[in-house]
Structure formats: C-alpha cells, structure tokens
Amino acid sequence: MADALPNVDRLQCLGVANTIVPLLREIHRYEETVVFPAYEAALTLAESKLACTNRLRAEHLEDECYADELTEALLAIGHGDRIDNAEAVGFMLRGFFESVRRHIAFEREHILPRIGFSGL
C-alpha cells in the first residue's frame, strides 16, 4: 500500500482502516492476559526485576494510538479525500508496521522461547 501511493486502492484502505485497531487490540489483550503472565511466571526472582513486560505494555498503548491516527488517514483516503502528501502517508504506514515488526521480533526472540513456545 505504501509503495502504491498516491494511487492506492481505496477499498483496501477502508479494509485496513476497519481492521487494524480491533485486531491490534485483540492481539494486545491476548498478550497481556496470557503470554505476559506466562513469561513473568517463568522468570527467576532476579530476572523479574528486569522484566520487560512493562515496556511492552507501554508499547501496546503507543501502537494503538498510532494505529488510531493511521486509521483516520486511511479512512479519509478510502472515502475519497485527496492525498496531499503521499510521502507522509507512506512514512506513517512504514513507521507503524516497522514498530510492530520490532515488537514481534523481540517477543519471538525473548518472550516465546522462555515460555516454551516455538511455533512461530
């Protein structure tokens, strides 16, 4: 989508806009209620003082706020608004997805192996 700007598929923009926030919130809820408690239970006492789950929870909030902003932009595009600054919209898309990729990579490398999950 970012690479196609300013000639994006408006229906695709609407689809992503209507999906991204609910999906992200559901994933975060699962991580915070299932994955993080399992990880925290697997830590030693010394490690628990260094637990990264508080930082990851804060990242969840940041990601959701950013997803809200991205949703607004995609809804506007999907409803026919002109894209005045395609570079800025592309930057928003790439920035959001890069942040989510880093978050996932960290969890795959540090959290999931600790709780015995290697399915990803």
Residue 11 pLDDT class (50, 70, 90 cuts): very high
pLDDT at 1 (0 to 100): 84
pLDDT at 119 (0 to 100): 57
pLDDT at 118 (0 to 100): 60
Residue 70 pLDDT class (50, 70, 90 cuts): very high
Query: Exposed/middle/buried for 87, CB within 10 Å: 0-12, 13-18, 19+?
Result: exposed
Instruction: Write out the two tokens for 63.
Output: 């990601």
Residue 43 pLDDT class (50, 70, 90 cuts): confident
Nearest to 103 by CA among 2, 28, 25, 3: 28
Residue bearing the bigger pLDDT, 20 or 51 = 20
Distance, in Å, from the CA atom of 11 to the CA atom of 52, rounded to the nearest integer, reads 38
pLDDT at 117 (0 to 100): 72
Query: Exposed/middle/buried for 30, CB within 10 Å: 0-12, 13-18, 19+?
Result: exposed
